Chain A
């Protein structure tokens, strides 16, 4: 019985179903095929190439920045894009763009990874730091405001920092490492939050075409499992530690649900993205008029952009300024958040990944 139950391994392992020659090394979640390493590299890269071509993500001669956090997704993205650029003559000038939030013991370490990547892949690296742009590091901000709302600052500042870095590099587009699991999670979260406006555009593969720097997601259909497998087999150098200011942030219900789903039906991840693309949402909902911030010139629908409002608060010693919704956050809401704490004292929420990663 044991013999029948356990599948053969080692010498008698099953063969790759593509080349029918080498030993299979993994099971693809997308197709359930058993394939060997070499064939995996090939199909993995080819699929991303097809996504790039079909969606016209890049045009010959463009300057493209890869948002590089040093984590698995952006590391693999930088590696694969430089490979494909060479192989298929995209004619792109590729750059690495990193944001230094100024978090000791976290970002300084991950930036070391990015600096190694700069050399390994031969891609010029631009680092923009919160300190330079805003005069504050996250360490200093946290010292002032504590561990509440710090992710709000970080998120707002990062978004703008990336745009500013991209402007410095004079790139035409920013490519980010969002993978299929991230996309599926975002679709679910927008349903759970009742955010129909975002639901309608969260599955777009290119966003911000009306903004200063369009962003694109070449990994939109790429499974997280395959990205990690690829990085592991290729021995790519990536950094994986949680942000010290939002530890355990990835313990989200939605992420866990997606991983549970993947276990019983791997295809579900792509199906969620498909649903997100197919939702019938009338586009009549007005987008707010985009102007520019009077202070810094960044796009903004208000007089001042969000970053400037937050910054003003920090500089005036009123860090609550610009936090939360304009009509103020009720105690009740906070109480409710508190109720979400599980027995082991750690906050559980529907959301998951570390702040920075999804925002990239």
Chain B
């Protein structure tokens, strides 16, 4: 082990076998630093590091905004986005893409970049004589979470107005805007759903558990909008900084096994595959772009949960302050964990015209088992892949007693922070979960036996929304 001391500067002893990794890391940063330093020596510290013609955006020494002029900064950021989109086949001409837009800077940039890409494709379409080049469609979704956490009415109104004005002011092709309440995960009857949602959240006592459950429900709402409106891609504005926090908080919650599922560019375990084209951009950069380009954003006053997630965020922020490449390092580490089969757009084969280059890149990203079918079972609540050895321990442990369906189909983390401890409350929770989660529980339950089916039949019948 390295000596773990701050006093020994950076030169801790390391085992030779580890050195390579660390070296790469430090070489990379050193190289950039050296370049910057060399350039700085010539006295033109205020000029853009790339085009050497215009002024730098800020005087901060760290981060891309400190080295580039606003034009180069922008094109550099867009290049990261485009690279992510192209090398992971996120968007193809025949696609219909739904962009989740919360009003915040990250999703605002995601929307902007997807929009620009579409405008460009549209221009090409107009220019081409035979009009053979398709243009992918774009829609925007906003999830109203008023029913999950109390937000002042005027704030939500302001947010929705801003969202509407942002979307309507984008140049054509016209984008549909779907503003949907989070309780829509239940059924079409909203007031009924609102009641259920409130009761559901009341059964969860852990603050972090509640917060996480809301984000799982948010994803279900987005999936539902996408599926009902014929979208085949869901684009999120999740950036490096967010992923870094997710890496740490998942680790802290004991979700080490399922973690790689959430942090790749593509997550196709959902009915509508999810894409994270801003995975390589820092929150700081995205904020900067919104400021520089005057992209309108709006954010709700955050209800503080004072749980694990908040503690992790402030920890990561502190680390990032101490070393500006920390967030990227965290994400890179987690990126080295073996991905699941669904971390890529499905049906990637010769026949559907994916460019060769893309395939080559995919290969490089070490997706080895391209053709093997996913054999994973998923947690009923968070949809994380279940570690089978965990599940077996759990089932054998509870074999003797009558346990609720949920206990055997949830990951240990959800069991702890979301599921109530006694089986009666668990049944109550089960009756309050949205149908798609119930369906997942049923699908994942050990025997899929008739008795279990009967047990949950009433919940399935009470809704007309059961996933096939």
Contacts and interface: CB of A to CB of B under 8 A. Distances in A.
Contacts of B30: 330, 332-333
Interface in A280-323: 280-282, 287-288, 301-302, 306, 323
B22 A325 contact: yes
Contacts of B257: 275, 278-280
Contacts of A251: 6
B94 interface: no
Given A154-B3, A188-B248, A271-B413, A197 B21 contact: yes
Interface in B315-338: 315, 318-319, 322-323, 326, 329-330, 332-334, 336-338
A232 B248 CA distance: 33
B254 A271 contact: yes
A168 interface: no
Contacts of B16: 288, 301-302, 306
B19 A196 contact: no
Contacts of B21: 194-197
A156 B13 contact: yes
Given A280-B337, A288-B16, A352 B26 contact: no
A199 B260 CA distance: 14
A151 B329 contact: no
A287 B17 contact: yes
B325 to A, nearest CB: 9
A303 B29 CA distance: 30
Interface in A8-31: none
B37 interface: yes
Contacts of A188: 248, 251
A170 interface: no
Most chain B CB inside 10 Å of its own CB: which residue of A147, A275, A354: A275
Given A196-B336, A251-B6, A265 B308 contact: yes
Contact of B9 (A148, A270, A279, A348): A148
A268 B259 CA distance: 16
Contacts of B252: 261, 268, 271-272, 275
B311 interface: yes
Measured as residues with beta carbon below 8 angstroms from the partner, the interface class of chain A is 35 or more
B319 A192 contact: yes
B4 A281 contact: no
Contact of B18 (A197, A334, A336, A356): A197
Nearest to A355: B3
B10 A337 contact: yes
Nearest to A324: B11
A3 B454 CA distance: 50
Interface in A57-109: none
Nearest to A276: B256
A110 B113 CA distance: 62
Given A325-B26, A329-B11, A349 B254 contact: no
B25 A194 contact: yes
Interface of B: 1-13, 15-19, 21-23, 25-27, 29-30, 33-34, 37, 208, 247-248, 250-257, 259-260, 306-308, 311, 315, 318-319, 322-323, 326, 329-330, 332-334, 336-338, 387, 390, 412-413, 416
Interface of A: 147-152, 154-156, 159, 185-199, 245-249, 251-253, 257, 260-261, 264-265, 267-268, 270-272, 274-282, 287-288, 301-302, 306, 323-327, 329-330, 332-334, 336-337, 339-340, 347-356, 358-359
Given A275-B254, A332-B29, A350-B322, 6 more contacts: A246-B7, A249-B4, A268-B252, A272-B251, A326-B23, A339-B322
19 contacts: A192-B333, A194-B21, A194-B22, A195-B333, A196-B336, A253-B319, A261-B252, A264-B306, A275-B252, A278-B390, A280-B338, A288-B17, A333-B26, A333-B30, A351-B4, A353-B4, A355-B5, A358-B3, A359-B1
